[in-house]
Structure formats: C-alpha cells, structure tokens
A and B are shown apart, each in its own frame.
Chain A
C-alpha cells in the first residue's frame, strides 16, 4: 500500500510541475503576444526580477530579509492566535456559561475583516510591529477558535461514557478524551489559519513600514511598478504554499491515528 501511495504521489507531483510550467508558458504568451500585454508584466521579467531581488535590494532590503520579517510577524501573531483560539474554543465548547457569554461577542466580531481594524489598531498600538501582529492575529484567530469549538462540541458522548465506566473523573475525561478527540479539528483550523494569517500580511504591512513581502506589494502599487507588485505576489504565494505543506506534514506526524480506515 505504501508503495502504491508513493508512486501515486510521484504522479501527482509530476503533473503539478507540468501544470505549473504550462501556466508560466501561457502567462508568457499572453504578456508578450496578445493585446493584454500592456496590462500584464511578462513572466520572464517578473521571474528575473524575483531572482534579482535576492541580491539587489527592493527598497532597503533584499528578498530574504523581507520574507524573514513577514514570517516573523505572522508566526508571532499565529502563535498568540493558537494559544487564545484553542483556549477560547475549548471554553466555549465545554462550558455552557462561557458559550453564552463569549459566543455572541465572537459572532459579532467575526464578520469584520482584518483590514477594517487598521485605523483602530494604529490608534491603539501605534505603527510598530504590535499593530501588525494584531491585524494578522485577527486574520487567523477566528478559524482556530471556531474549529476548536466545533471539535469540542462533537466529541462522541459514547466515548465519554466509556471513559467514565473505566473510572475516569471529570478532569481525566476532559484531558484524556475531550482534548485528544478535538485535536484533528484544531489542526484543520490551524491549517486554514496559517494560510489566512499569511495572506493578512499584505494588509498588516499597509501600516507604515519599510520591509516585508506585503510592503513590496503595497509599495509597488503606490509607485505603479507592476513588476514589483507581482514579485511580491510571487513571494507570498511560494511562502504560503510552503507553510501549508509544512502544516500538513506536522498534522500527519501528530495525528497518526487519524488516518484512513483499514490496513
């Protein structure tokens, strides 16, 4: 079975590479040979600018610095979001009172997009990193909370009964049954959240800064440099893909038991 899986995986990777190459080719054709060329910078120019950005700075810094700065902001905010989101979700799912108090507030805040918070955020936290953490945090924390909440709610009551029958007390039921069976839901939330947090970086870096991949895009827009905008987009896409993949790998490692049925 593992053998079959591996060859299956190879096939998927191969076709992904082919599709990607085809995409670049089509892009290049559209951006050089069709009337759309005035609106789309060519693939070759974007890719070469992207490569160049590794040793020639955009603004004050080179690409690795921009990526590292943005990653730092996202990971800090994501870490705080994990912590608060899981706790809030468990509270809401496990305690009736917490649910009654927190849920309405939460549902009220949830539909407000992170971008709408920027003015208030600047007012409260200034224009430093704290503001950016806050915006990114808002972009990802809701997903973690909601998933944890749903997971805690959907624990199989028979399993809780089984644990009680084996002599588990309240605390043990919570720690040994409720939490572990929520883990796959939490991971599903983390998975969406890391991507959402990473894409909130563009918004967060609208707040005055001079580095970060979001800043590259914003600055490109302000100066009308479409190539720079697309270089920034490319960096965001690649890093986002890597983050999502890493998250999936982590999930596979930590939730070994949650694999497909059967041998």
Chain B
C-alpha cells in the first residue's frame, strides 16, 4: 500500500510562511490579534495538518495562504511567488463545502477550467475523470441539493483537483459530516492523494483526523496564535485509529493542546 510517499531528494519548499501576523480591527478601534509571527514551510507533496483549538485562527491562516486575506505583516510564498490574490494555483476545499447550488455536479467540477478558458471537450473529460475518481460516477447531472453531505464534499474535492492546483488547501472539510462518513472520507482523501500527488495543507481540530492523515502536524496555540509544537508523524499508512502508537500520540498532542477559549 505504502508507496514512495515522500520523495526525499525533492526537498524543495512549495509553501513558505514568513513571520505572518494578522490583526483584525473591530469597531471603535478595538484590535483582535489572531496570528502572531507564524513561520513554517511545506515541502512538495507533503501532507501538512494545521491543528489547534476552535477559533485559534486556523481558517484565517489558510485564507492568508490562499490570498483571500492579507496578512498584517509578514508574507506567504507559494511556488516561488509572493501570494497577493486568490488564484487557480491554489485549490480550496471549504468546511461549508461552498458548491454553486445552481450548477450540476459537472458544472461545479468544470467551473475552474471553464473560467480559465479551457475548451469544452477537454475540460469535461477532465471533470469526468475527477468525478469518477471521487466515486460520483453517474451523478454528473445532479444538483448539490440532491446529494448527501459526504457526496457534496466529494464534489468539493473534485472541483479543487480539476483545476490542477499547485497546492491544495482544505479547511476542516469533514467537520460537518457524521463520524462514520468522516472516517470514510478520510480514507477516500488519502486514496485520492496517493493517486494524484499534491502538496496539501489540511486544517482540523479533530486529533484523530490529524493523526490519521498527516505527514506532519503543526500545533497552534490559542489566540493570538503561535506555533506551539511540530510533530513528524511517521506511522505507516494506512493507519489504525486504535494502534498503540496512534493512541499514545493522540494523548500527547491532546495534552499539549490549549483549552479552547469558547
């Protein structure tokens, strides 16, 4: 099962966060410092998990990497270019799934190539490939409202992949799914990732999920968020939730995690 997951010779850094800080200014001049001087980098084809308590700023950090938010100070470099705006080189998968409800499964998945001007035949073939890959063969003409939560998020993943992004950013993509569906989707994501290698930054506050998927976990503190600790997870894949080392790591990281403030 285990392939040459990480090519050691290709140790180039695909994403670099340099001293990223973010402060939101509220009404009446109140300030809310969310990210405090965060620096890390992600290697090519690495599966990095950003892990931290609720409201600690994980989404904000991911949005900054995506270019959807600007850092107050510091910068993010993706593929040797400083991130200044959202763009097709970064594929995003949302907790709220965020499919276009007026488009079919096919319409959603081909959206990216379509707005970038890829010819119809080519983009539909590609979309079909990814729809099949996420196991939705036969659902091309369904609208999101006709699908279950797990199926919708499969569309979300296919949509991001179909645009051939350089890196994938996933923000608690399985947070709204029930426990069994979540386990299944974690397996699915891992399968897809092993087939279509990509650099992944995955945000979660679920320690089981983090340990199951990650090459490396970055543990964030409460707001203002800094990096508390990094864990290299070298458990063999596919992993076992009740494996002794797994449970041990789970306990250790849970103990090191800040208590959620809310």
* A touching B, CB within 8 angstroms: yes
Using a CB–CB distance below 8 Å, which chain A residues touch chain B? 156, 158-159, 161-169, 172, 176-177, 180-181, 183, 255-263
Question: What 9 A-B pairs have minimum CB-CB distances, sorted nearest first?
Answer: A167-B88, A166-B112, A164-B86, A257-B143, A168-B115, A180-B102, A165-B92, A162-B98, A167-B116
How close is B84's CB to chain A, nearest CB, in angstroms?
12
Bitwise, B52-78 to A at CB < 8 A (1) or not (0) is: 000000000000001010000000000
Residues of B within 8 A of A168 (CB): 111, 115
Judge whether A165 and B90 touch: CB under 8 Å. Answer: yes
Report how far A261 CA is from B103 CA in the complex, Å: 15
Does B91 lie within 8 Å of A261, measured CB to CB?
Answer: no
Q: Pick the contact of B66 from A165, A172, A258 — CB < 8 Å?
A: A165
Return chain A residues, CB-CB under 8 Å to B173.
Answer: none
Residues of B within 8 A of A177 (CB): 100
Partner of B86, one of A161, A172, A181, A256: A161
Please tell me if the beta carbons of A156 and B102 are within 8 angstroms of each other in the complex: no
Contacts of B111 in A (CB 8 A): 163, 166, 168, 176
- Whether the Cβ atoms of A257 and B98 lie closer than 8 Å is no
The answer, yes or no, to whether B94 is at the interface (CB within 8 Å) is yes
Closest to A171 in B: B115
Is the pair B163, A257 in contact by a Cβ cutoff of 8 Å? no
- Which of A161, A166, A169 gathers the greatest number of chain B CB atoms within 10 Å? A166
Q: How far is the CB of B39 from chain A (nearest CB, A)?
A: 24
Closest to A263 in B: B146
Interface residues of B in 122-168 (CB under 8 A from A): 143-148, 159, 163
Closest to A159 in B: B98
Residues of A contacting B238 with CB < 8 Å? Answer: none
Given contacts A168-B115, A259-B146, A262-B146, 10 further A-B contacts (CB under 8 A): A158-B96, A161-B66, A163-B111, A163-B115, A165-B92, A167-B115, A176-B100, A176-B111, A181-B101, A257-B144
Q: Is the CB of B94 within 8 A of A158?
A: yes
What chain B residues lie within 8 Å of A159 (beta carbons)?
98, 100
Contact-residue size bin, chain B (C-beta under 8 Å from the other chain): 20 to 34
How many Å lie between the Cα of A183 and that of B66 in the bound state? 29
Q: How far is the CB of A113 from chain B (nearest CB, A)?
A: 36
Give Cα A168–Cα B100 distance, bound, in whole angstroms.
13
Complex contact A181–B66 (CB within 8 A):
no
Interface centre among B66, B68, B148 (most CB of A within 10 A): B68
CB pairs A–B below 8 angstroms (18 shown): A161-B68, A161-B86, A162-B94, A162-B100, A163-B111, A164-B68, A164-B85, A165-B66, A165-B68, A165-B86, A166-B112, A167-B112, A168-B115, A180-B103, A181-B102, A257-B104, A257-B145, A260-B145
Q: How far is the CB of A184 from chain B (nearest CB, A)?
A: 9
Interface 1/0 per residue, B96-124 and A, CB below 8 Å: 10101111100000011001100000000
Give Cα A11–Cα B239 distance, bound, in whole angstroms: 55
Residues of chain A within 8 A of B104, CB atoms compared: 257
When distances are taken between beta carbons in the complex, the residues of chain B under 8 Å from A181 are 100-102
- Of B87, B111, B115, B145, chain A has the most CB atoms within 10 Å of the CB of B115
Q: Which of A166, A255, A262 lies in contact with B115, CB distance below 8 A?
A: A166
Check A259–B145 contact: CB distance below 8 A: yes
A158, A165, A262, A263: residue with the most chain B Cβ atoms closer than 10 Å: A165
> Chain A residues with Cβ under 8 A from B92's Cβ?
161-162, 165
Which residues of chain B have C-beta atoms less than 8 A from A258's C-beta?
A: 101-102, 145
Closest to B101 in A: A257
Tell me the bound Cα distance from A140 to B96 in angstroms.
37
A182 to chain B, nearest CB (A): 10
Complex Cα spacing A161 to B100, Å = 12
Known: A162-B94, A165-B90, A168-B115. A180 touches B68 (CB 8 A): no
Closest A residue to B103 by beta carbon equals A257
Q: Which residue of B lies closest to A175 (CB)?
A: B115
User: A227: shortest Cβ distance to chain B, in Å?
Assistant: 50
Asked if B115 and A176 make an inter-chain contact with CB atoms under 8 angstroms apart, the answer reads: yes
Contacts of B100 in A (CB 8 A): 159, 162-163, 176-177, 180-181
The residue on A at minimum CB distance from B104 is A257
- Whole-angstrom distance between the alpha carbons of A11 and B94 in the complex? 42
Which residues on the B side are within 8 Å of A257 (C-beta)? Answer: 101-104, 143-145
* Cβ contacts under 8 Å, B112 to chain A: 166-167
* Residues in chain B near residue A164, CB distance under 8 A: 68, 85-87
